């Protein structure tokens, strides 16, 4: 059987980009947390902030490293897998990606060096500044890459000549109709992802009766942030959904498995959408739920899947279920954050073991929501790579299936190894816990502390 | 507009590639030399000497790729599919060596990460050389698209280029250690650098002889008059630089051998530019043919002119902050 090169190219790209997004969705939020801790330490002088900043910086370094190497791959895969997309959209996507490199990547990469290794070599303000620069860099990076991505969903500010997109208005390209929603949604998602990891680590120490002071600080900060951002995410997501309905109605129809646009839409808690039979099986509907959410009117109408021919519809199963997974996680986050905030207000948070147990074991929820959400929006754009401009099938490179299959297998293997080891090592860092920073051995140059008085990390704890 | 935007962009990308080759060149080179270190303490010292810099160094590669997509999308769309396998293999090599910086420090058994770091660095360097060779050989293009097979790049010449780049990166790495390391490691690196210097010179000679014989248009470029009158100093200067490097290595540790190694790289790069200018994808696409729309090139150029000096500024700052030599056994973990 000949493997379909379009499918292979998509599988390979989908795999590598899903792997990659795990790390930015954590490090964007985490870098902001580290910067906050550094600033708090500077402002209050409380040592727990310093220990926490050092602790999370180590975890950040491991995650960021994996994000960097998997991100470099993507900057080349646009050409290796989607060369005809590069020709059609290169005039638009190229400069946006270029700005990401120039404005963000160098900033992050360079100041990360100071953040990780420079604490005893630079004035304290420069070290704090480096933490902020890294955090700002990650957010700028998200800005540009989401501008590029949003343009692929809602292209604007360009004209087509001979099948190639030419820029006519850069502000319209960057601030294309879906950009602000997508950027806010992703940035907030990243903060939430990091918050739930911080909460989980705090709860884990609390349950183990270790690092009590740090654990309390992490729980307080994480829950405090999530209690605001998780409900906010519901609002942003709703606005983003309305924006999608306006610009990509068929994606919304796929999210809701809504076939017939002449009737109000039910919200399906569960269903199995059947693309061939054009109906849903095993449906558990909330009557008119979708109409109520999307049009704010129980009898409101919105386009159904049948309004376009089957070849213009996205694959339903990933879009439909991805959306439900994201929603489920979102509501869990809201519940967990608000309940935690209530416990905090009741001053029983640190004694409520079952709650700590739950949040200690749900560090992964943000990652699941982010990946599910990206599957919804990217698969929901199909069969288009640039909505209304170029179909994914017309975007591939002239690379034979054999090469694609081989490299797909290599990526799965290499990323599988790197990811497992990375998680294992991060877990080991967490098990070891926060340490006083002044005992850390500092490399480079001749300072009194560098003489090797501090023990090897591998000798301590863990 | 009076500016020749494609020419300016060719210069910017040329700068990015040169920066990448020099900067990531030395840290890949340190990786290539990993198996020849005499102890794990020495490897700690080697890794510590490059740890604050590698990430910034590698970002030049992203600028090279991203800049190529932005400024010359048609060349990007031909080169990546044509050199598909070496590009992916290079990226995988970089993945493995990149994660080593943090993983090795946490690992209880460092041995496997020593191997992975060395292998990843060597594989990435070799693939870069193959990519270079593949470009010099030329790429088959029809209707603006790559029209060759998946193994068109696989020639003895490309393999030679691959080995040459491995040796070149190793030389940069060794001379970096001569400059940045203290004690025995610097001394050890000094001896390695001498061997590598001879090897690099050999590879440069071989590639320089083979290139005009294998590629008629380059033969034409080099040996026709008046070109030859301008070009003959290039090999002479190369030999003189190598001779100076040898002398400086003889004198003991210091920064000069590293500078000389960079000079050698730049001379090789100059040879490449002389041979292929103005082609981005020899022998079909010049950088004028492959250029993005002027509105796109101009839009990003504005940002580049503002941001690139800032980037160079804080890159310089980091190298200055982490100046000085790394002592024996120093580890950042």
Percent of chain B with pLDDT strictly greater than 90: 54
The mean per-residue pLDDT over the stretch A312-330 comes to 93
Mean pLDDT over B120-136 rounds to 94
Q: What's the rounded mean pLDDT across residues B152-179? A: 94
Q: For the residues of B1-58, what is the DSSP string, one character each?
A: --S-HHHHHHHHHHHHHHHHHHHHHHHHHHHHTGGG-SSHHHHHHHHHHHTTTHHHHH
List all residues 6 or more positions away from A212 whose beta carbon is below 8 Å from its beta carbon: A205, A206
B145-146 vs B141-142, strand pairing mode: antiparallel
Please state, in angstroms and rounded to a whole number, the distance separating the CA atoms of residues B205 and B207.
Answer: 6
- So what's the pLDDT on residue A2? 63
Range scoring the smallest mean pLDDT among A205-209, A246-250, B140-144? B140-144
Q: What is the pLDDT of residue A323?
A: 94
Contact A83 B292 (CB under 8 A): no
Which B-chain residues 79-118 have CB contacts (< 8 A) with chain A? 79-81, 84-85, 87-88, 91-92, 94-96, 98-99, 101-103, 105-108
Inter-chain CB proximity A166 and B92 less than 8 Å: no
Contact B81 A116 (CB under 8 A): no
Q: In the predicted model, is pLDDT for residue A127 greater than 80?
A: yes
- The model's confidence at residue A76, banded by pLDDT at 50, 70 and 90, is confident
Torsion of the alpha carbons at A208, A209, A215 and A216, rounded to the nearest 10: 130
**pLDDT at site A459:** 36
- Is residue B327 domain-resident? no
User: CA of B44, closest CA in chain A: separation in Å?
Assistant: 10
Least confident of A116-125, A440-449, B260-269: A440-449
Which residues in chain A are contacts of B80 at CB distance < 8 A?
Answer: 76, 78-80, 83, 86, 397
Q: How many Å apart are CA B313 and CA B305, to the nearest integer? A: 13
DSSP assignment, residue B326? Answer: B
pLDDT score of A171 more than 80: yes
Nearest chain B Cα to A113, which residue?
A: B52
Is 50 exceeded by the pLDDT of residue A48? yes
For the segment B35-52, the average pLDDT, to the nearest whole number, is 91
Q: Is the pLDDT of residue B243 over 80?
A: yes
pLDDT at A452 exceeding the cut of 50: no
Residue with tokens 């860092």: A429
Instruction: Evaluate if residue A430 carries a pLDDT over 70.
Output: yes
| Domain assignment of residue B146, given as a range | 5-321
Lowest mean pLDDT of A228-237, B14-23, B50-59, B104-113, name the range.
B104-113
Chain B residues close to A106, C-beta within 8 Å: 56, 59, 63, 307, 311, 314-315
Q: What's the count of helices (H) and strands (E) in chain B, helices before strands?
A: 13, 4
Structure tokens at A181: 């929603």
Question: With the C-alpha atoms ordered A46, A47, A53, A59, is the resulting torsion angle positive or negative?
Answer: negative
Are residues A76 and B65, on separate chains, in Cβ contact within 8 Å? Answer: yes
pTM above 0.80, yes or no: yes
Residue of A nearest to B332 (CA): A443
Considering only the beta carbons, identify the residue of B77, B293, B327 that sits closest to A84.
B77
What pLDDT, on the 0 to 100 scale, is given for residue B222? Answer: 86
A interface test, pick of B300, B306, B310, B325 with most A CB neighbours within 10 Å:
B300
Q: What is the average pLDDT value for chain A, to the nearest integer?
A: 88
Which of B56, B85, B106 is facing A428, going by the closest CB pair? B106
Taking residues B165-180, report their average pLDDT: 95
Judge whether B194 lies within some domain: yes
Distance CA A369, CA A226 (A): 14
Per-residue pLDDT averaged across A62-87, rounded? 87
The distance of Cα A178 from the centroid of its chain, to the nearest Å, equals 17
In-domain check, residue B331: no
pLDDT at A228: 96
> B85-113 pLDDT, tens per residue?
999 999 999 999 988 988 888 888 888 89
Nearest-Cα residue of chain B relative to residue A420: B103
* pLDDT tens for each residue of A404-426: 888 899 999 999 998 999 999 99
Which of A98, A397, A414 minimises the CB distance to B96?
A414
Residue B144 has pLDDT above 50, yes or no: yes
ipTM of the complex: 0.86
Distance from CA of A91 to the nearest CA of B (A): 6
B183 touches chain A (CB under 8 A): no
| Any B CB within 8 A of A435 CB | no
Nearest to A72 among B94, B102, B144 (CB): B94
Q: What is the mean pLDDT of residues B210-223?
A: 87
CB burial of A125-155 (b: ≥16 within 10 Å; e: otherwise) equals: ebbbbbbbbbbbbbbbbbbbbbbbbbbbbbb
Residue B332 in any domain: the answer is no
pLDDT band of A340, cuts 50, 70, 90: very high
Q: H or E stretch including B279?
A: strand B279-281
pLDDT higher than 50, residue A443: no
Whether A458 has a pLDDT exceeding 70, the answer reads no
Longest dimension (CA), chain A: 78
At A441 the pLDDT is 46
A102 to chain B: which residues are within 8 Å by CB? 63, 303-304, 307-308, 311
Looking at the 3D structure of chain B, how many domains does it have? 1
List, for residues A346-400, the tens digit of each pLDDT value: 999 899 999 999 999 999 999 999 999 999 999 999 899 999 899 998 998 888 8
pLDDT of residue B333: 65
- What are the tens digits of pLDDT across the range A29-46? 999 999 999 999 988 988
Kindly list the residues from chain B whose CB atom is less than 8 angstroms away from the CB atom of residue A458.
Answer: 106, 108
Contact A107, A137 (CB under 8 A): yes
A16 within 8 A of A73, measured Cβ to Cβ:
yes
Backbone angles phi, psi at A155, to 5 degrees: -65, 140
Is residue B265 assigned to a domain?
yes
CA-based nearest residue in chain B for residue A76: B65
Residue A446: its pLDDT value, please? 37
B/e letters for A325-339, b = 16+ CB within 10 Å, e = fewer, are bbbebbebbbebbeb
> Would you state the pLDDT for residue B32?
96
**Residue B328 in domain:** no
Q: Kindly tell me if the per-residue pLDDT of A14 is higher than 70.
A: yes
B319 touches chain A (CB under 8 A): no
What is the Cα–Cα distance from B33 to B36, expressed in whole angstroms? 5
With a cut of 70, say whether residue A59 has pLDDT above it: yes
Interchain CB contact of A116 with B (< 8 Å): yes
Kindly state whether residue B177 falls inside one of the protein's structural domains.
yes
Q: What's the pLDDT tens digit per position in A253-295?
A: 999 998 988 888 888 889 899 888 888 888 888 888 889 888 8
Question: pLDDT class for A246, splitting at 50, 70, 90?
Answer: very high
Q: Are the beta carbons of A98 and B67 closer than 8 angstroms? A: yes
Per-residue confidence at B145, pLDDT binned at 50, 70, 90?
A: confident
Q: Is residue B303 part of a domain?
A: yes
Report the CATH number at residue B297: 1.20.1630.10
Using a CB–CB cutoff of 8 Å, tell me whether A157 touches chain B. no
């Amino acid at each position: 059987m000949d493997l379909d090169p379009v499918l292979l190219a998509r599988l390979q790209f989908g795999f590598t980009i899903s792997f990659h997004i795990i790390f930015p969705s954590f490090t964007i939020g985490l870098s902001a947390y580290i910067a906050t801790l550094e600033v708090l330490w500077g402002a209050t002088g409380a040592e727990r902030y310093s220990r926490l900043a050092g602790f999370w910086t180590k975890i950040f370094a491991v995650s960021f490293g994996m994000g960097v190497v998997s991100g470099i791959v993507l900057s080349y895969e646009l050409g290796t897998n989607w060369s005809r997309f590069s020709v059609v959209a290169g005039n638009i996507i190229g400069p946006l990606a270029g700005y990401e490199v120039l404005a963000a990547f160098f900033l992050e990469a360079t100041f990360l060096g100071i953040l990780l290794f420079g604490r005893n070599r630079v004035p304290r303000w420069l070290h704090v500044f480096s933490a902020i620069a890294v955090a700002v860099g990650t957010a700028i990076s998200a800005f540009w890459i989401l501008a590029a991505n949003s343009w692929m969903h809602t292209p604007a500010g360009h004209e087509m000549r001979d099948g190639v997109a030419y820029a006519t208005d850069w502000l319209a390209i960057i601030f294309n109709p879906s950009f602000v929603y997508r950027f806010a949604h992703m940035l907030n998602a990243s903060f939430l992802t990091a918050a739930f990891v911080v909460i989980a680590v705090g709860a884990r120490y609390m349950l183990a009766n270790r690092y009590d002071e740090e654990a309390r600080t992490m729980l307080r900060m994480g829950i405090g942030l999530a209690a605001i951002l998780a409900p906010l995410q519901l609002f942003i997501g709703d606005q983003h959904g309305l924006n999608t309905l306006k610009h990509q109605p068929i994606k919304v129809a796929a999210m809701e498995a809504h076939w017939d646009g002449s009737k109000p839409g039910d919200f399906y808690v569960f269903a199995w959408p059947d693309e061939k039979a054009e109906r849903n099986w095993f449906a558990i509907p909330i009557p008119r739920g979708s109409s109520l959410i999307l049009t704010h009117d129980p009898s409101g109408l919105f386009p159904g899947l049948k309004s376009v021919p089957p070849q213009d519809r996205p694959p339903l199963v990933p879009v439909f279920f991805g959306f439900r997974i994201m929603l489920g996680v979102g509501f869990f986050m809201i519940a967990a954050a608000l309940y935690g905030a209530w416990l905090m207000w009741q001053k029983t948070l640190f004694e409520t073991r079952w709650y700590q147990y739950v949040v200690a074991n749900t560090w992964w929820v943000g990652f699941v929501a982010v990946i599910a959400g990206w599957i919804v929006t990217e698969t929901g754009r199909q069969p288009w790579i640039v909505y209304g401009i170029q179909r994914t099938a017309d975007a591939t490179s002239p690379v034979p299936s054999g090469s694609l299959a081989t490299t797909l297998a290599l990526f799965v293997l290499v990323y599988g190894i790197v990811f497992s080891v990375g998680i294992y090592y991060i877990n080991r860092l967490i098990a070891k816990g926060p340490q006083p920073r002044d005992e850390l051995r500092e490399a480079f140059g001749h300072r009194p502390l560098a003489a090797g008085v501090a023990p090897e990390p591998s000798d301590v704890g863990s | 507009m009076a500016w020749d935007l494609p020419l300016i962009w060719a210069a910017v990308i040329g700068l990015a590639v040169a920066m990448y080759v020099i900067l990531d060149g030395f840290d890949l080179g340190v990786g290539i030399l990993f198996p020849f270190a005499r102890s794990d303490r020495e490897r700690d010292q080697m890794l510590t000497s490059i740890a604050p810099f590698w990430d910034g160094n590698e970002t030049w590669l992203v600028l090279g790729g991203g800049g190529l997509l932005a400024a010359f999308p048609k060349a990007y769309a031909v080169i990546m599919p044509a050199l598909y396998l070496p590009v992916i293999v290079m990226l995988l090599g970089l993945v493995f060596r990149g994660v080593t910086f943090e993983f090795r420090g946490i690992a209880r058994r460092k041995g496997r990460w020593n191997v992975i770091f060395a292998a990843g660095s060597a594989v990435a360097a070799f693939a870069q050389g193959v990519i270079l060779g593949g470009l010099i050989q030329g790429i088959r293009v029809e209707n603006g698209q790559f029209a060759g097979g998946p193994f068109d790049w696989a020639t003895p010449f490309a393999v030679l280029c691959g080995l040459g780049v491995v040796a070149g990166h190793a030389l940069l790495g060794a001379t970096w250690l001569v400059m940045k390391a203290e004690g025995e490691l610097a001394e050890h690196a000094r001896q390695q650098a001498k061997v590598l210097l001879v090897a690099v010179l050999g590879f440069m000679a071989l590639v320089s002889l083979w290139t005009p014989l294998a590629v008629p248009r380059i033969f034409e470029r080099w040996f026709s008059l008046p070109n030859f009158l301008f070009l003959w100093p290039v090999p002479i200067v190369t030999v003189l630089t190598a001779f100076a490097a040898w002398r400086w290595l003889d004198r003991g540790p210091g920064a000069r051998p590293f500078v000389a190694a960079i000079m050698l790289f730049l001379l090789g790069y100059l040879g490449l530019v002389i041979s292929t200018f103005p082609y981005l994808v020899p022998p079909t696409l010049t950088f004028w043919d492959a250029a993005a729309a002027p509105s796109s090139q101009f839009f990003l150029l504005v940002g580049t002119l503002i941001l690139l000096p800032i980037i160079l500024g804080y890159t310089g700052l980091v190298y200055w902050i982490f100046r000085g030599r790394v002592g024996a056994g120093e580890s950042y973990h």
